[in-house]
Amino acid sequence: MSKARKSLPTPYAENSVRQIHQEQALNLRVKTRDAGRRFWTRITTTTPLPLLRFFLPLIAPVSTVLLLIGWKDASLEIAIGLHAILTIIFFPSIMAAAFARMSARDRLRLRAAGYRSMNAYPGVERILNTLDERRIRERVRVSAAAIASATIFSLSNLDAGPTLSSILLGFVLALNIVIILNTMKLEESTPMRSNEFPLLSLHAPTLHDSTLDRVMTDLLVAHLDPETASQWDHWVEGLSDDVRSDQTPSSAVEHLLQAMHLNHIGLLDENGLLSETRRVFKVSAIDGLISDESRFNLSALKRLLTHTRAWQPGLFRLADRLEDSLIHGDATLTEEPWRLDLDIPPRCGQGQADLFVMIHNHTGRNQIIEVDILVAGGEPEVQTMRIPAKASRRPDAPASFAEGKIGLVEPLGGLLADSIVLWIGLAWPDSQSGPRPVQVTLRNEEGETVESIVVRTILSSGVQAESMGHRMSDAAYEVRRIALALAD
């Protein structure tokens, strides 16, 4: 009996042969389908195909209308040719959509050593549903073009009367409208164009912590797609032996991201950035951070931070105001017992907005504070949060630094580490529009009102620059732009 028990297979054990074989097979399938995705995406985005896919659907209906009104110079051959060309130029696009869906599905099923299940990360279903919708739209578009070509071709080979001809041409015109509507949606952007982070442009943050611990890192990770977030966790865990003795992997990464932000706004040059990197990482990690073969090298981290900045400019506006107060020795940092700052987009679409609140406790003792958020006409209208506020280190004097030299990263990092940063999602009914006030009130442990600030945002029923769709497009554009700049 004991021998029989020992010989039983363990197909779900961590290092079982079956699991290893399945992982190898899935890795091979991912590589194969990803190669197909890159091939068809490259063809789809090669000039002049994007222009043809955009303008020909607008020109083809003109030939149909001319036939419908019976214009003497209208040509069936031209109409057939235009719709046939449409069918052909849509083919690479539908292949790119199909391979993108297959590649994404396999990537999100992949289980590499040390990775958590992809289903543990929010956003998996949204990514797959987005790619499913695109694939369906591509099929509808190419099918409509093919059916329109066949319908017009049948007119040239049938002795159809004027009534039947009008009906068929009206049907073709309806198909042309279907093509135009789907083209307007599909040609906004092409997903999975990046080879380093192919799923990043498809991810929208849905679930996140209301309180940010390590501000830059937590915000960045919240905007990573499930695949990249899984690889990020694995990368950070592997840094345990590559950071200085006074650092942890998480604190070292946070310090590096803060330095990159200062580098982005021009307060730290490239030499200063490299010097700050050496302060928290050992030489063994520096080699990986500057290597082109590393998944998360300095260039990749800059792209990810740019992607995050495009999604949530509000938090970076708070950080910029904190830096300005630090440099100029603002009284809110050097004299006042509390500092409260908040940011909300000036305009928001689809009844949604992200409110960021930053609080510094300069009273010299830890307290349990209360933050009330009053949103006029919001859902809910009042939110109350009780949170611990540890005592912040008050800067003794304005920060002094020379351009490109060390001097600002450490005090800024200390202020961010000591701050309480809240990330609150706000919502209003879709029917509302116009200006809406948002009031944030801070109360100390005794229940006394310390400070209250009112800000305003403008609701719009249409899609604005701060809406989710536009922020996704802006983030994808910024990532491509900085990737080209770094490549140059």
Tell me the pLDDT band of 120, cut-offs 50, 70 and 90: low
Residue 392 pLDDT exceeds 60: yes
Q: Answer with the residue of higher pLDDT: 397 or 113.
A: 397
The span from the CA of 136 to the CA of 298, in Å, is 38
Report the pLDDT value the prediction gives residue 105, as an integer from 0 to 100. 84
Helix (H, G, I), strand (E, B) or coil at 255: helix
Q: In the CATH scheme, what is the code of domain 200-487?
A: 2.60.40.10
Q: State mean pLDDT over 445-452.
A: 91
Report the pLDDT value the prediction gives residue 110, as an integer from 0 to 100. 60
Q: State mean pLDDT over 284-311.
A: 88
pTM of the model: 0.80
Residue 479 pLDDT exceeds 60: no
Residue 16 pLDDT exceeds 70: no
Residue 94 pLDDT exceeds 90: yes
All CATH 2.60.40.10 domain ranges of the chain, comma separated, are 200-487
Q: Answer with the residue of higher pLDDT: 460 or 220.
A: 220
- Model pLDDT for residues 256-283, shown as the tens digit of each residue: 999 999 888 888 888 888 889 999 998 8
The span from the CA of 139 to the CA of 82, in Å, is 18
Q: State mean pLDDT over 169-190.
A: 90
Q: State mean pLDDT over 466-479.
A: 55
The span from the CA of 274 to the CA of 256, in Å, is 9
Helix (H, G, I), strand (E, B) or coil at 316: helix
Long-range contacts of residues 384-391, Cβ cutoff 8 Å, at least 24 apart? 385/210, 385/422, 387/211, 387/420, 387/422, 389/359, 389/361, 389/420, 390/361, 390/366, 390/418, 391/361, 391/362, 391/363, 391/364, 391/365, 391/366, 391/418
Which tokens go with 364?
């010299």
- Model pLDDT for residues 366-391, shown as the tens digit of each residue: 999 999 999 988 888 999 999 999 98
Report the pLDDT value the prediction gives residue 328, as an integer from 0 to 100. 84
Report the pLDDT value the prediction gives residue 461, as an integer from 0 to 100. 67
- Model pLDDT for residues 406-421, shown as the tens digit of each residue: 567 888 888 888 899 9
Residue 74 pLDDT exceeds 90: no
Least confidently predicted of 203-207, 316-320, 323-327: 203-207
Report the pLDDT value the prediction gives residue 486, as an integer from 0 to 100. 47
Q: State mean pLDDT over 161-179.
A: 89
Q: State mean pLDDT over 180-200.
A: 84
pLDDT averaged over the chain?
83
- Model pLDDT for residues 138-155, shown as the tens digit of each residue: 999 999 999 999 999 888
Report the pLDDT value the prediction gives residue 400, as an integer from 0 to 100. 59
Across the strands, what pairs with 353?
A: 426
The DSSP string of 28-80 is HHHHHHHHHHHHHHHHHTSTTHHHHHHHHHHHHHHHHHHHHHT-TT--HHHHH
- Model pLDDT for residues 211-232, shown as the tens digit of each residue: 999 999 999 999 998 888 888 9
Q: Give helix 76-109 / helix 162-186 axis angle, nearest 10°.
A: 40
Q: State mean pLDDT over 180-204.
A: 84
Residues in contact with 39: Cβ distance below 8 Å, sequence separation at least 6, in sequence order: none
Residue 401 pLDDT exceeds 60: no
Report the pLDDT value the prediction gives residue 197, as an integer from 0 to 100. 84
